[in-house]
A = this chain, B = another copy of it.
Amino acid sequence: MKFTINRDLLLQNLTSVSKALSTKVQMPVLTGIKFEVKKDCILMTASNNEISIQALVKANEQLLVEEEGNFLAPGKYLIDLVRKTESKDIDFIGYEDNSIKILANKSNFTLKGLDNDNYPIISFDNSPTFITIDSINLKQIIRKTTFATSLSEARVILTGVSFQTNKEKMQVVATDSFRLAKKTLIFDHEYPDVKVVIPSKSLEELNKILEETDEVVEIHFTKTKALFKYRDLLYQTRLLEGTFPNTDSLIPTQFLTSVTFNKNELISAIERVSIFSNMEVSSIIKFVLNADKTAEISSKTEIGDAKEELLPLKCDNGVAFQIAFSSKYFVEALRSFNSTEVTIHFTGEIKPFIITGEYDHHLVQLILPVRVA
């Protein structure tokens, strides 16, 4: 094995596939990045059983392959090495004892390979059932839904995000049963039937690789896997098994009143009111609407009380009304909107309420209130 590759190109591809590197020592081969060096390209593969990623680098002026070969490199060390190297190009040369020599400027490394023979066989499967979506849109979907998935393994299905198509429509839903995020996409033509649940973690790692461009991502669905094809990268994740709850009927359509706020001012006010409680856990705040359309939020803790007047930009009906909910859930939901103005639609004091945003079409965030004394 012998090749010369541009340092930046190598680092970019290593960084992408590293998202699938395992940190578990139980299977040492999965801490490695597999190099398949062929005459006209190199394949780099990493997998942690949940996610598998493969990068293809074609031979050109940035990659010169002199001799084919395979090698399983310790992922973390190789990436660290390439990152700290300042040379434009790096030479890789197969060496005795399953080692490689790596030459970069005045640096000379010998890196011991992992046990290539025991690396699992990973197939990246195309499927006749696939959809396409712009990278930037896919990133938005991920950002607007994954935060609402469950962290608890009690109901594993809720740790994933549901993707379901129906003709031209695709509904993407996440819920931990105390809140729900729902984004609906309308395509310009009918799409094949898809009904899958993708692990939240897999989507978050994918999000780190995708860039905010209009490049197309193809998503291929098989019974157990989803394969995202993006540039020269294959990103494959296993799907969650089980039935995602039907959430259509949960989202209210009749409201007591709707109140519109400046999103950032509302978030700042909630953060101030939550100062005496630990927002990372779950601090409960009270929202009060008055008949004269003024509003306030407040919290009470052992350390002290906090209260903040709010000035709604708009309020449908002034009704004397109060409701309590998790400030963490509320702020996370608000942050999912791109809009400057958000509207909260209340249905009753102990009933779920929803949030919408002027420029976030087909996005609904729902939160269940809590009962307080």
Contact = CB atoms under 8 A, between A and B. Distances in A.
How many copies of the polypeptide does the oligomer hold?
A: 2
A308 B307 CA distance: 62
Interface string A298-313: 0000111111111100
A308 B276 contact: no
B108 A308 contact: yes
Contacts of A303: 74, 77, 111-112
A126 interface: no
A87 B303 CA distance: 22
A106 B272 CA distance: 11
Interface string A100-120: 000000111111100000000
Interface string A197-217: 000000000000000000000
A316 interface: no
Contacts of A305: 109-110
Contacts of A302: 112
A86 interface: yes
A80 B304 CA distance: 13
Interface string A309-346: 11100000000000000000000000000000000000
A265 to B, nearest CB: 10
Nearest to A310: B106
B80 A307 contact: no
A99 interface: yes
A268 interface: yes
Lowest 8 CB-CB distances: which A-B pairs, in order? A111-B304, A106-B309, A110-B305, A108-B307, A84-B272, A107-B308, A109-B306, A110-B304
